[in-house]
Structure 1
């Protein structure tokens, strides 16, 4: 009853959140930008304003041009704080990012070579040479784009290089003006060899309140109120009545912080539990987050972009470039646990009769947190901070939820195999063989008919594709059945078999990681790699799980089964769902370029932000993975 009440409450949250967020027109108030424009008033203000504040908040020549810094962000906060009172009326600042196009060279002031005391001399700097220098890092950027879940074309646009806008500069001006009003007299001069494009503009208070904001306030206030009442009731039963187990109503304690925290932090040994999965799950989610941390630096501005790419182009960065394979670990564990936890509970006919509960159980385990993060992203997260990069977030919602989509689709299709698995061993192995061969064949044909080696449409048609993720899921199901057949039995394996299998697993996992690094310059090899790399990784992970469960894991099993991993494993899904939003908020609020170095990143959790004066319930089973699959009976819903 308790679980049913909680899930129904969250189901209500899901439906309201999706309907309200989906109805939102836009993140920024587009009408506001148009309503404040007034060309005549603009000309008056340009003549009467105190220009230094606007100039001081605008661009200078970017520092570090030779190391790839082709942007100057000006001073975002200072610009939007400008509020001058003049004879022509009140003048407020507007922050715009502009791009210069068409130029091959720019004049920059350099110190004279003869003497430091002499005046500055103007020298020509060839932009095309800088662009050419950065093109050698295209391979690294392709890999980082895959790792960071950032579209290739968007990544290049944000990096201001190649065939997109080569230089982006911040311009502060009165809100009544357009870029052409301010720079038009200069740009109309025939001697000026370049044009200007307006990328975006920002105004103070340009984030309008919407239905999502009011819905978030109401829903989270209700949840907070219920949680307070539930916690108070629970504490009263626990410490006043002191007979909690007899007197406490379990339904009333569903939202209790005290009880749920105890459940989250209580680790008990269970017969048949796969403890090594806790370590694998924890290390995998930490690896994914670490990879996202590094790759997210591409959507903010580095003053030494070329050095950033150069470091990632070296072999020592392979452990970061290959972090995306950790996602396949979760697909593998998901398939493994699906079979391992259901084979001794159900019959084929029981599965068919309870198929609606099978699907509903999966959805209710994943969607409550998903609904929360969607509603938070559309409301609280959107308002908690701001910055010159915030425009980039306008096209983002919760991009990491592609995993949830693929995982749900795989579970929707899983009964096609699971039905035959439940019929008996011969039927199980036949269905596994047919399923795996069909998935790998379709995978290979699909990769050979589509050119993914150059990164084109990689995300849309390969990375997010359910077909590509099916082989690791099926391999996990196969090993889940292996573990079911040896459940509560002592397995004897020759030492040579253990060593040989471990070496092959090491080779397969190393190859799956390493092939992310080089360019083979051979489409056939690259297509084969894309077809089988995830399967090799899944096989390596499954072998390690198998030997750990069977007692041959040694120190590996000891390390992966440490209780320290259980807490991280239980909140791994929440970590995955929420971490991207937190990273985006940080990236969007960066007001100055940062200097990339390993020391800076290791020494702090985030790059230092310039000091600008301010203005004005988780599951508890040991077999829970990133998307929990350990029970399917309707009594557990």
Structure 2
């Protein structure tokens, strides 16, 4: 506590040194002379300017002369930032009034908002307690950024702490190639959606009311392709709450809650870039055990890995048994790539070319330029799903590391499935061997590099001492040796264990036909173990105390596998009828529409959060009420945007994939009913959760199995989607 108080006292002295070296006398009292007061003194009292005109260009002189136009001077002056209270809490980012500056204008000029960064170093978009002091100013738009920097250097007496000056352009920048491509693609997609919707509505209107074949489709392939983009049909599929045969109970609820948990974690992590009371983060983390649930959102990602592995194994082994071990692996990869990539690629294109036109604010240009810089040269690595390997530092589309890992696991999955199909013992041993190898690799990396759990590190990083005395800037380059020796979060060899546990669970469900006997008290142990994984580190977080090497290694090695085993336990209990009210709630039909949007929400929610903070005129004030409104509001907005993305790109692509690869239909079970012959599809897994009322039929497979994200494709093509 004494150390923090000393550091904060030094910070206040640093603010005074940066912003007020000169003194003016007001009523006999001495006060720092800020840049705004110098401008007021110069232009209102016509004193001799304190600028070295010999060093200024003609452009700079013109910039100075424009200030003498008083039509908008007071608005410009009023929009300047001044030091505010709350410095001890981290309120050292003073943005002034952005819109007031921009709207200050006369016949020839308007205001240009700029921001100056003072400190020992400049770091774009620092996370947590700010490492620099920012002070906004307002100048005529005729002034260039270089001229403004010279003026500010003179105003602040050539302070060595002035590190950077940024002035967002006042006029809309010309369209780039990425922007033009994005607009053209979006217009083309909207045209297809409009055409598909119009044709679909027309066909519905013309359809005879008493027609027996209500699902008859046009024979023309071109019309079928256009109909894949119908917003009406796709909207009906997304919002359908019917429990279809072939689905595994509880997965929809697990998926929705995992997605909202991921969004909660990102809500706090993105907020760290724009707080005016950053010290409150450290206090909350160290004093409120509930914050461990926010940090524990990292395990929601492991839930998705588990679900993905479970469904790939469950559907894959059924396909192999049906086709007697035959599987078209290249086609399997192609279908998955076509299913995942279009919406993902549009998200990257939007972030690079169109995102910058979706708002304005004090930090909007800095945020959007940063997003563009991170992707403009390496976007292709994301589309090849190698972005977790190349380059060594890749922050293009922040959530994409998960997609790369999941795709790589999917590519490996046929190996495990084929071995298991040939020999259950060999397949099981292979899965177990790779899983143990992944756990040991994580443990060795953690032990030899003295790594700490993320929760403990976050507690330390939220301190004032860490922000000012430890360089947290991202290096321009990082050797692969350094990356792979310290990274246990993004690398596939440290993540595949959870995926394999999911595969083992899927194979177990298939082989036992979902009839797994458990003790009646088995369900009561599902809660304490996950809570222990999430909350067991709170004493260390509270005291900002590192774990010993052995204890840290044990936790990092076992936390993810144990979490996956908890998810396996929950899934099996719900299927076997031991889930009780938890299983009934997770299998609630209202979760189905939301679960079908999780992939699109996963792609968009991070940028929705950044947009929210970048368009604010003032930094965000962290409080429980503010966070609740911010999180729930942006979450609803993310689902809304995800719904639009699903209707326009995700679900149309699912329809096109199904149209291009129709697959073989299962042999029908013929029964007579009113003179018609129809196929009676037996359920792969009934959705009833009562014990003893679960029936699994493996020999007869329904034609379409619901994707984990709600899509429908022929089951015999094993095109199982990521768990999102």
Is residue 254 of structure 1 aligned with residue 228 of structure 2?
Answer: yes
Alignment of structure 1 residues 87-486 onto 2, 5 Å = 90-101=108-119, 157-159=126-128, 161=130, 164-165=131-132, 167-175=133-141, 176-177=143-144, 178-188=147-157, 195-205=161-171, 207-242=173-208, 243=211, 244-246=214-216, 248-249=218-219, 250-302=224-276, 304-313=277-286, 314-346=288-320, 354-390=328-364, 391-396=366-371, 397-453=396-452, 454=457, 461-486=487-512
CA distance in 2, matches of 1:168, 1:539: 48
Is residue 625 of structure 1 aligned with residue 708 of structure 2?
Answer: yes
Distance change in 2, residues 1:423/1:270 (3 Å): farther
Per-residue deviation at 1:94?
2.6
- Counterpart position of 1:602: 628
Per-residue deviation at 1:69?
0.7
Per-residue deviation at 1:284?
0.7
Question: SS state of the match for residue 163, structure 2?
Answer: strand
2:103 corresponds, among 74, 81, 87, to 81
CA distance in 1, matches of 2:323, 2:74: 79
CA distance in 2, matches of 1:511, 1:334: 24
Per-residue deviation at 1:494?
3.1
Distance change in 2, residues 1:200/1:588 (3 Å): same
- TM (norm. structure 2) is 0.67
Q: CA RMSD in A?
A: 3.2
CA distance in 1, matches of 2:289, 2:718: 52
CA distance in 2, matches of 1:573, 1:582: 15
Asked if the contact 2:596–2:711 (Cα under 8 Å) also holds between the matched residues in 1, the reply is: no
CA distance in 2, matches of 1:538, 1:267: 28
Per-residue deviation at 1:452?
3.3
- Counterpart position of 1:506: 527
Give deviations 1:2-54, integer Å, cap 9, x for gaps: xxxxxxxxxxxxxxxxxxxxxxxxxxxxxxxxxx9922323333455664333
CA distance in 2, matches of 1:290, 1:298: 13
Question: SS state of the match for residue 169, structure 1?
Answer: strand
Per-residue deviation at 1:632?
6.7
- Counterpart position of 2:606: 580
CA distance in 2, matches of 1:482, 1:241: 47
Asked if the contact 1:362–1:629 (Cα under 8 Å) also holds between the matched residues in 2, the reply is: no
Is residue 547 of structure 1 aligned with residue 573 of structure 2?
Answer: yes
Is residue 558 of structure 1 aligned with residue 557 of structure 2?
Answer: no
Per-residue deviation at 1:634?
4.6
Asked if the contact 1:216–1:375 (Cα under 8 Å) also holds between the matched residues in 2, the reply is: yes
Distance change in 2, residues 1:101/1:283 (3 Å): closer
Distance change in 2, residues 1:102/1:353 (3 Å): closer
Is residue 537 of structure 1 aligned with residue 563 of structure 2?
Answer: yes
Comparing 573-582 and 620-629, the one that deviates more: 620-629
Question: SS state of the match for residue 301, structure 1?
Answer: coil
CA distance in 1, matches of 2:310, 2:558: 19
Distance change in 2, residues 1:352/1:240 (3 Å): closer
- TM (norm. structure 1) is 0.75
Per-residue deviation at 1:520?
3.9
Is residue 495 of structure 1 aligned with residue 461 of structure 2?
Answer: no
Question: SS state of the match for residue 66, structure 1?
Answer: helix
Question: SS state of the match for residue 413, structure 1?
Answer: helix
Asked if the contact 1:281–1:330 (Cα under 8 Å) also holds between the matched residues in 2, the reply is: yes
- Counterpart position of 1:18: none
Per-residue deviation at 1:472?
0.6
Distance change in 2, residues 1:444/1:373 (3 Å): same
Per-residue deviation at 1:315?
1.0
Which stretches in structure 1 are left out of the alignment for 5+ residues? 1-35, 104-152, 608-616
CA distance in 1, matches of 2:117, 2:262: 34
Per-residue deviation at 1:458?
9.1
Asked if the contact 1:347–1:423 (Cα under 8 Å) also holds between the matched residues in 2, the reply is: no
Asked if the contact 1:45–1:174 (Cα under 8 Å) also holds between the matched residues in 2, the reply is: yes
CA distance in 1, matches of 2:103, 2:80: 13
Distance change in 2, residues 1:77/1:41 (3 Å): same
- Counterpart position of 2:618: 592
Distance change in 2, residues 1:246/1:410 (3 Å): closer
Asked if the contact 2:153–2:162 (Cα under 8 Å) also holds between the matched residues in 1, the reply is: no
Distance change in 2, residues 1:524/1:566 (3 Å): same
Give deviations 1:85-124, integer Å, cap 9, x for gaps: 5xxxx44433222123369xxxxxxxxxxxxxxxxxxxxx
CA distance in 1, matches of 2:58, 2:258: 51
Give deviations 1:306-335, integer Å, cap 9, x for gaps: 234322332122221211211110000000
Per-residue deviation at 1:437?
1.5
CA distance in 2, matches of 1:407, 1:55: 54
Asked if the contact 2:246–2:706 (Cα under 8 Å) also holds between the matched residues in 1, the reply is: no
CA distance in 1, matches of 2:207, 2:493: 56
Asked if the contact 2:314–2:510 (Cα under 8 Å) also holds between the matched residues in 1, the reply is: yes
Asked if the contact 1:330–1:626 (Cα under 8 Å) also holds between the matched residues in 2, the reply is: no
Give deviations 1:578-630, integer Å, cap 9, x for gaps: 111111111110111233221233346459xxxxxxxxx44797753359798
CA distance in 2, matches of 1:473, 1:628: 21
Give deviations 1:373-415, integer Å, cap 9, x for gaps: 2222233332011111220332235211221111111112223
Comparing 560-569 and 305-314, the one that deviates more: 305-314
CA distance in 1, matches of 2:173, 2:551: 49
Which stretches in structure 2 are left out of the alignment for 5+ residues? 1-56, 372-395, 459-471, 473-481, 635-649, 656-703
Asked if the contact 2:533–2:563 (Cα under 8 Å) also holds between the matched residues in 1, the reply is: yes
CA distance in 1, matches of 2:609, 2:517: 47
Give deviations 1:113-162, integer Å, cap 9, x for gaps: xxxxxxxxxxxxxxxxxxxxxxxxxxxxxxxxxxxxxxxx866x35454x
CA distance in 2, matches of 1:592, 1:215: 33
Number of equivalenced pairs: 527
Asked if the contact 1:573–1:627 (Cα under 8 Å) also holds between the matched residues in 2, the reply is: no
Per-residue deviation at 1:188?
3.7
CA distance in 2, matches of 1:629, 1:465: 31
Question: SS state of the match for residue 82, structure 2?
Answer: coil
Asked if the contact 2:83–2:92 (Cα under 8 Å) also holds between the matched residues in 1, the reply is: no
Question: SS state of the match for residue 100, structure 1?
Answer: strand
